Amino acid sequence: MKKKLISLLAAGVSCMMLLVGCGSNNPGDSSGSGTEKDSEQVLNTIYFKVATLDANDTTDNQSSSILNAVQEGLVRIENDGESDKIVAAGAESWETSKDGLTWTFKLRKMDWSDGEPVVAQHYVDSFHRILNPDNGFAYSFLAYDIVGAEEYNTGKGSLDAVGVKAVDDYTLEFKLKHPLPYFVSKVSYTVFHPIRLDVIEKLGDKYASEITDTVYNGPFKIESWDNGNSMVLVKNDTYWDAENVYLEKINMTDIKEFATQAQLFESQELDISGAQTDYIEKWTERADAGEFQKLTGEDPGSFYLYFNQTSKSADGILKNAKIRKAIGLSIDRDVYTKDLVGRFESAYGIVPTAINSGDEKYRDKVEGPLVADAKTYVNNKEKLQELFKEGLKELGLQTDDLSKYELTYLNQGSSELQKQRAEWMAQQISGNLGIKINVETQADWGV
């Protein structure tokens, strides 16, 4: 099984900015357009290739977006136009003990798309499955706040000791190792959605790669899927809140180049588009004039650098922490987020800015672990190379000619914009450290 090793060098936290076109093709609120809604509510949007439809194995935003449309976790994070809010979803209510160590969720009565009820054991099965060390799921560590979770996942404890329990069919209980005010935010993550072990066992290797016989408990179902090209979602009539799901169908088509997306959006052939680079200011003005609707909000996720610490490239230098740190701090996050992308926030730690601790932003209370180092190293070539050489010395490698060290940067996606960003990253690293960085495009990130 392939396992990606993730460093704690987050390069940016997503701040969403979506534009919704107004007009007869727009399935949403027609305010500002002067037109009535279409009788059939269909949304035409962009499809991004997903790596998996296995909730427990999800690590990418594309897969999470699809799964959040067809599945329902305990809670959802929704934006009310001003800020992100935690709203009840699979759970009707929840409470914590006085010491903050026990969380109890009361589940609403709802069904899977095949008519089977969603029960607490389906959530227990999900947590047990993501923590099973034999599965090697990358985001299992997100459950480590739960009693016994880390021990079981690392082979030092038993499944029976994991603090997740189905008290009855509609009561779910968690025992935590320490108080965690934002635990309710964490259970919104896609990787903790409920699962059906009977379906997983029935489909075997086909589970999460094909849609035949798959079951859903979210607002939509997947009607068709041509991974890499398109996907069609249709309304799930068995969803508990189906009467408030106004879209009947979502057509998603792969459009690689943003220039093409922009053209289709402006001609109303595409209903939603993320605003990028030069279009942000232009489309914001048109939204303010009532031509478009602008939706902004924080996406609780981070963009990382992944380091293959077992690679033999460049004498295996990536296994050294100081070298990885030097590479990560070679990148000027502020330039990337403000100038290159225009819709991200700089991040200096793994926890994104959208995560709350109680009623406050976690990052307003706790500074990112790389903030102090960034002040010392970012845009300081001399200091960066000094740190890089310290790592080389620890490995017993030469420090006289850094240009002899050559690494490969794998770029996800083949669009011109993605290539430009990858080349910029490579130039930042090579320019500051004096090493050689080759950019390689890997369109299929699941391979």
Examine the fold and report which residue of 190, 217, 244 is the final residue of a domain before the chain moves on: 217
pLDDT over 90 for what percent of the chain? 60
Note whether residue 23 is domain-resident. yes
Q: Whole-angstrom Cα distance, residue 15 to residue 296?
A: 7
Q: How many helices (H) and strands (E) does the chain have?
A: 13, 18
Q: Are residues 270 and 395 in the same domain?
A: yes
Note whether residue 339 is domain-resident. yes
CA distance readout (Å), 222 to 111, 166, 235, 251? 17, 29, 9, 10
Q: Does the predicted model carry a pTM greater than 0.85?
A: no
Is 13 a residue whose pLDDT tops 60?
no
Higher-scoring residue by pLDDT: 281, 18: 281
pLDDT for 21 equals 53
Q: Whole-angstrom Cα distance, residue 190 to residue 212?
A: 21
The SS3 of residue 248 is: coil
Most confident stretch, 30-34, 102-106, 334-338, 340-344:
102-106
pLDDT digits (tens, 9 = 90+) for 251-280: 999 988 888 888 998 888 899 887 776 787
pLDDT for 36 equals 58
Gyration radius (Cα) of the chain, Å: 23
Is 200 a residue whose pLDDT tops 70?
yes
pLDDT for 178 equals 97
pLDDT for 7 equals 29
- 34: exposed, middle or buried (Cβ count in 10 Å: 0-12, 13-18, 19+): exposed
Q: Are residues 92 and 138 in the same domain?
A: yes
Note whether residue 240 is domain-resident. no
Note whether residue 158 is domain-resident. yes
pLDDT for 37 equals 62
Q: Are residues 206 and 269 in the same domain?
A: no
Q: Number of structural domains, the chain?
A: 2
Which residues, listed in sequence order, are joined to residue 230 by a DSSP beta bridge?
226, 253
390: domain CATH number? 3.10.105
Q: What does DSSP say about strands 406-412 and 436-442: parallel, antiparallel, or unpaired?
A: parallel
Q: Are residues 1 and 94 in the same domain?
A: no
Q: Are residues 63 and 29 in the same domain?
A: no
Note whether residue 384 is domain-resident. yes
Most confident stretch, 97-101, 306-310, 332-336:
97-101
Q: Are residues 432 and 368 in the same domain?
A: yes
Mean pLDDT value across the chain: 87
Examine the fold and report which residue of 199, 217, 235 is the final residue of a domain before the chain moves on: 217
Q: Are residues 161 and 280 in the same domain?
A: no
Is 12 a residue whose pLDDT tops 60?
no
Higher-scoring residue by pLDDT: 57, 273: 57
Among 81, 83, 55, 51, CA closest to 68: 55
pLDDT digits (tens, 9 = 90+) for 85-97: 899 999 999 999 9
pLDDT band at 412 (very low <50, low <70, confident <90, very high): confident
Range of the structural domain that residue 349 is part of: 1-35+256-447
Q: Are residues 195 and 329 in the same domain?
A: no
Among 29, 12, 14, 7, CA closest to 293: 29
Note whether residue 250 is domain-resident. no
Q: Whole-angstrom Cα distance, residue 70 to residue 90?
A: 13
Q: Are residues 280 and 331 in the same domain?
A: yes
Q: Are residues 31 and 59 in the same domain?
A: no
Q: Are residues 74 and 175 in the same domain?
A: yes
Q: Are residues 173 and 313 in the same domain?
A: no
Note whether residue 446 is domain-resident. yes
Examine the fold and report which residue of 197, 217, 237 is the final residue of a domain before the chain moves on: 217
pLDDT digits (tens, 9 = 90+) for 142-195: 999 999 999 999 999 999 999 999 999 999 999 999 999 999 999 999 999 999
134: domain CATH number? 3.90.76.10
Note whether residue 445 is domain-resident. yes
Most confident stretch, 16-25, 35-44, 150-159, 227-236:
150-159
